Structure 1
Amino acid sequence: MASDKNAFHCWKFNNNFTLKSEKGTNITVQCKICLPARKHSRTLLMQDTSRSDVMEDATASSSTHVVTQPPLKQARIDSGLSVSQQRVNKLVFNFLVDDVQCFSLVEQPSFRKLIEGISGGKKVMCRKTLMQRIDREFAVMKESVISKLSNVDTVCTTADIWSAQNRSFFGVTCHWIDKDTLERHSAALACTRLKGRHTYDAVATKLNEIHAEYRIQNKVKSTLTDNGSNFVKAFREFGLREDESDDYSDEVRFLDVCSLLQEDGDGEQFFLPQHQRCAAHTLNLIATNEIHKAASNGSSRKLYRSAMAKCSSVWNKAHRSSLATEVVQEIANMHLTVPSVTRWNSEFRAITKLAGLPEEKLREICDKLDSAFLKEYTEVLKPLAVAIDILQGESKCYLGFLIPTLLSLKTKLFEKMPHLLYNSHIVTTISEAIEERFGSVLASHEAKMATAALPKFRLNWLSPEKRDDMRRTLLQEAIAQEPLHSPATVRDDNSVKSDESEENFFVFHNAKSSFDSTTHDEVRKYLEDSDNNLTSLKAFPTVKRFFIKYNTTLPSSAPVERLFSYYLETE
């Protein structure tokens, strides 16, 4: 018996069974594996005259039993949440619209199987349903924008034309400042097809239609565009003159009524707001045109042409083949930047990357690239690149940034003059170009008021001898924006003599009224305040009003260009 027990205990499957009984040749074992899953565990009964045969049969039976057990499965976690068809439609719609995906994607079998698989069998809307939903959502969004703009007094817009894939698009964005929080808000009004030639009258027609569509014709303070001739002529022909933008002139103008009545009545009359050229685009023109001319004709023209030719050679090779990019990656351990043809900033950054490499690595990349000239070139033009980046801001950039940016740019450029070997003439060229292209802006009353109304600058950008004049201008503007005094009561008395009426008619204010004194104190406290945050304007309601009036305008049309960039990247 002991030997039998020893034989069972030596059995390799004895851990999975319990020996229940042994009667003669009958051995009964109970399966331990089945115990947790079954109320009655499995029992094996084997009979044989040979004890070894019994063990073999038990081994075979138990082995079969163990092997045929189903593998344990991981328990499924049921969250109890089910995705509705409405939720699936909304998620698919948002994916297509937000990422500007092709509408035909909903017809692709693989996309439909993907959505059905992860949503538990829910179907994907067809293309017709998608287009109907897009039309409904667009109408709702448009009404929402119109509703927001109805509560705004002053806005500015940016406009531009972009061509891609043999199609032209006209884009318009709108920007305003919240009266309470002084935060900048923006909205895209249009990115629509512009068919035919981009003539000035077509530009004026399209822009006027978009302003009228959103009911902001009389609210647009100014419209920012690039320096394109079609935009410039459109505003020259149909826009508000700069001298008519704020106050109407007292000069009497005589018009030929007959000629006006004889004009073709069927011709559509356009009304466009004041035009402002994009400051960032103007600085780009200075960087690409004036600087190129100065560098090509100056004393360092040979170095300039040689260095730029070698840079262009590297960029062209990298653009045509990935081999040059791999070589630069292997030698300099950096990604080669190829500049964009439409943005000088990208060229500046690409040159900065090359100029920042050690001399030995530059030699390996391009036969002895003139690194000394390039390093000085990029160091000189760095303030210009920073100025363009500042003016291309949106949420925290205002017209009041324009004058301080231009003045600081000129100062930083002239500070580099004593240390330059090759590019001193470039500094002079940039300064002269700024005076020529931005002369009207630097002398503009609107730009000056926008700068003075910014707590960040106040009057710090002016020389001490000019601050008193600007302080008086600021005070006059503040007084002019206050409501007028209530008119004196008119007496209807026939007994008043004519000479008394004449005497009472002439009134002169020799002393400052309490009204003017209060405004004067507010302006004085504002100029003496040291808080540079916009929230400080809440303590100066009069200054806050003309801050909104003058700083609603942006200094550049970069927002509409970003709108096009986003669209083209997702095409």
Structure 2
Amino acid sequence: MRVAKSACKPLELNAFKRYFQDTFLSEKTCYIPQSVHLNALEMKNCAFRRVKYKEDALQRSNCVFLENACIRTLFHTIFFFVGSNFLKHLKRKHLVEYKQVFIEEDEGLPEEGMFEGDDQPITELSTNKFKQNRINKAIAKYLIIKCNLPLSMVENNAFREFIKECNIKWNQISAKTLKQNSIAAFTEKVNKTIYEELKAVDHLTLTVDGWCDRRCRSFLGITCHYIDSKMVPQSCLLDFVRLKSPHTGENIHETTERILDRFNMKEKVYKIVTDNASSMIKAYKFGLSVDDEIIDDDNEAQLMANAHTTFNAFDQEVDTSSFHFINIPQDDGDLIDGDNPSNIRLSCFAHTLQLCIRDGLKNPSYVPKVLAKCQALAKFSNKSSRIADLLEQLNKNINKMNLTRWNSEYMLIKSIYSIGKNDLELITSLMDNGIKFSNNDFIILEELIDILEPFYEISIKCQAGTTVTASLVVPSIVYLTAHLRDIKQNVSFCAKLIQQLQESIKTRFSGIFNRLNLGELIDNAPYADSLYLMAAVLDPSFKFYWIRDLQLSVPMETRLKQSIIQLIIDEMNNDSTTTTTELHEINFSSTTSSSFTTTPKAKRRKLFNYDDSRTNGSNESTKLDPRVELDAYLNDPVHTKFSDYWFHSQLKMLKKLIARLFSVQASSAPIERVFSHAGLILSSRRTNMNEQLFRDLVLLRVNQNLL
């Protein structure tokens, strides 16, 4: 196709412009404004220089690799090419569109020669240097960070030939250059973004845990969680730092404070969620601000005793968004959350729930023998090709066993039970030492699935990353109590298992049961914090509906509701008192400073302007009483999602309390997901990765939505 130098007809011009946009430009990266008028010569410069390279590369690259969203975005970025005449026209006639398309996307990256000063003009963006920076940025963002490909890929000859096919003027770069320029710039940008976002947050919650890599280097990870202005739960990874021995509570405490001081947010921390490891309990036993003499930790705690040793699992393609399981620390089985008198630390609900399961499976009748058969079958099936072929023919699978995750036992039992008795006999006949599952064994498997299924579902829900989870704790405990109470009458072999589960739940969650039974609160009782009850009521999905499962008498149910309502009102009054005190301090400060300056003349209020902001809080009688707001909420029949409900709510005092309570995470799953990303990044082939680069890649991978 050839284009004459003379101006094209309007119809042909519009058709060519649509062809140019659809063929050469990604909708996500660039567009041609409708008001742009192109002549034929500019179109020739804009389009036809890259036709051959684009078509040839597409023919060679028509594969599943291009189905990845990051790869497609990178591919369009590489093909992005515009002529100098077109850019000059945009800058002269369409400056707004020009800035939207070309400048905003490249803010925050150090590109030498791009800006010479505030008063200096921007150099020509169609130069090879600009395109080089743009492609390098895309490689780092989409391939290195989001696709988790190694930096050494840019030095691979095949990759360089591919980029050359896409853009012949691209200059080769080294992995060192990419690390020092792009990765460092992205890290600085993410840290700055986190700092700016947290400045506007009043209350936040941390999740903290330790991890060991393949080289037995210890790291401490800290994630931050808060409710934003749209009442949507947000989270980010604050830091992933090296934790050198000794791994004592004091060392963990000091490392945490250094990170918080760097972000200037220590006073904003509402709660800290950790597992039940002894070192974690000691680290935050007295909150954040403690003297060095307070913490006595002569015996070094084995924080990393439960390090991730099954490294081969990380070599597989793992969907980290569906990460469900949390490792149970091996050295803290007998620890109770009551050992922690501090109001700032909370135990991970998922860890505690799994400890209850482990207590229940210790010595129940009949169950150990059936579990041993299931484990033997799973072990042999992973080594036998004949069983693997038979399972493939039956379209079935047997889940692998993991000693540190009780959920794996549940999934193993469920997978074996789903095979069926006849097919299972056919499979076991292929074993060297035949294992037979009797009819009673199948009854036990069925009862185990019925008993443990709610535990599994709750453990998945309480580890959600995009929804509030603090409100799940109390309704979950109430539901499990009712579930075990009701199913006990329908089991034949697992009655002892149910009894042990009931006893363990009442012991490990005694603080919740004391509040539900309106009994005397015991000091240091586990899960005695009132926030769990308040969060359950203030979630529009629950309110007081979960109380029905307790099967209380009418007077007892009324007393329980009134006690929870009083807890919420007391918290609202405390917030109101704090706000009033702060306002008085501000007014006193402004009055004192104004005595030394000239008081400006007050502006006349506009006609029919009734803006509440002009009252300056002078009319206290117009403010809603906490009881009025709470009553309005409890009697509201609307049942919507948490964020939608509270974002449109006008109950300002309650919303302030909501933002604080629901920043709390029910579990430490967010920091466990960080470790899953870390294990994928530090694969068996990348164990010699530099420590600082490893930390940066983990930070960027977890916070990739901030790039």
Other-structure match for 1:71: none
Give runs of aligned pairs for residues 70-149 of structure 1, distance below 5 A: 82=81, 84-94=131-141, 95-133=143-181, 134-149=183-198
Deviation string for 1:451-487 (max 9, x for gaps)? 2222222233343441123223333333343354999
Other-structure match for 1:439: 510
Q: Which amino acid aligns with 1:407?
A: V
User: How many residues are paired up?
Assistant: 436
**Superposed displacement of residue 385, structure 1:** 0.8
Is 222-231 or 513-522 further displaced after alignment? 513-522
- Aligned equivalents of 1:323, 1:227: Cα separation in 2: 43
**Superposed displacement of residue 147, structure 1:** 0.6
Q: Does 1:449 align with 2:517?
A: no
Q: Does 1:326 align with 2:389?
A: yes
Q: Does 1:521 align with 2:521?
A: no
Other-structure match for 2:670: 559
Q: Does 1:277 align with 2:344?
A: no
Which structure carries more relative contact order (alpha carbon 8 Å, separation 6+)?
A: 2
**Superposed displacement of residue 78, structure 1:** 7.3
8 Å CA contact 1:155, 1:175 repeated in 2: yes
The one of 388, 392, 403 aligned to 1:341: 403
8 Å CA contact 2:569, 2:627 repeated in 1: yes
Q: Does 1:310 align with 2:373?
A: yes
Q: Which amino acid aligns with 1:309?
A: A
The one of 460, 466, 478 aligned to 2:572: 478
The one of 503, 527, 530 aligned to 2:637: 530
Q: Which amino acid aligns with 1:469?
A: S
**Superposed displacement of residue 236, structure 1:** 1.9
Give runs of aligned pairs for residues 130-529 of structure 1, distance below 5 A: 130-133=178-181, 134-165=183-214, 166-179=216-229, 181-236=230-285, 239=288, 274-287=344-357, 289-295=358-364, 298=365, 300=366, 304-320=367-383, 322-330=385-393, 332-366=394-428, 367-369=435-437, 370-442=441-513, 443=515, 444-462=529-547, 463-482=557-576, 483-484=579-580, 518-529=625-636
Q: Which structure dedicates a bigger proportion of its chain to strand?
A: 1
Deviation string for 1:258-316 (max 9, x for gaps)? x99xxxxxxxxxxx9811110001111221x2022132xx3x2xxx2321112111222
When the two chains are superposed, the root-mean-square deviation of aligned CA atoms in Å is: 2.8
Distance 1:78 1:119, change over 3 A: closer
Deviation string for 1:483-505 (max 9, x for gaps)? 54999xxxxxxxxxxxxxxxxxx
8 Å CA contact 1:155, 1:221 repeated in 2: yes
8 Å CA contact 1:318, 1:324 repeated in 2: yes
- Aligned equivalents of 2:274, 2:506: Cα separation in 1: 20
**Superposed displacement of residue 321, structure 1:** 5.1
**Superposed displacement of residue 81, structure 1:** 5.1
Distance 1:201 1:521, change over 3 A: closer
Q: Which amino acid aligns with 2:81?
A: S
Other-structure match for 1:8: none
**Superposed displacement of residue 364, structure 1:** 1.8
8 Å CA contact 1:522, 1:540 repeated in 2: yes
**Superposed displacement of residue 408, structure 1:** 0.9
**Superposed displacement of residue 76, structure 1:** 6.2
Please list every run of 5 or more consecutive structure 1 residues that lacks an aligned counterpart in the other structure: 1-74, 242-254, 261-271, 488-512
Distance 1:171 1:418, change over 3 A: same
Aligned to 1:481, the other structure's residue is in SS state helix
- Aligned equivalents of 1:240, 1:364: Cα separation in 2: 64
Distance 1:213 1:77, change over 3 A: closer
- Aligned equivalents of 1:280, 1:150: Cα separation in 2: 30
**Superposed displacement of residue 240, structure 1:** 7.1
Distance 1:117 1:207, change over 3 A: same
Q: Which amino acid aligns with 1:433?
A: S
The one of 631, 654, 657 aligned to 1:546: 657
Aligned to 1:160, the other structure's residue is in SS state strand
- Aligned equivalents of 1:539, 1:516: Cα separation in 2: 12
Distance 1:393 1:77, change over 3 A: closer
8 Å CA contact 1:325, 1:336 repeated in 2: no
8 Å CA contact 2:463, 2:669 repeated in 1: yes
Larger radius of gyration between Structure 1 and Structure 2:
1
Quote the sequence identity (%): 24
8 Å CA contact 2:257, 2:288 repeated in 1: no
Distance 1:324 1:115, change over 3 A: farther
Q: Which amino acid aligns with 1:221?
A: Y
- Aligned equivalents of 1:121, 1:317: Cα separation in 2: 56
Q: Which amino acid aligns with 1:400?
A: S
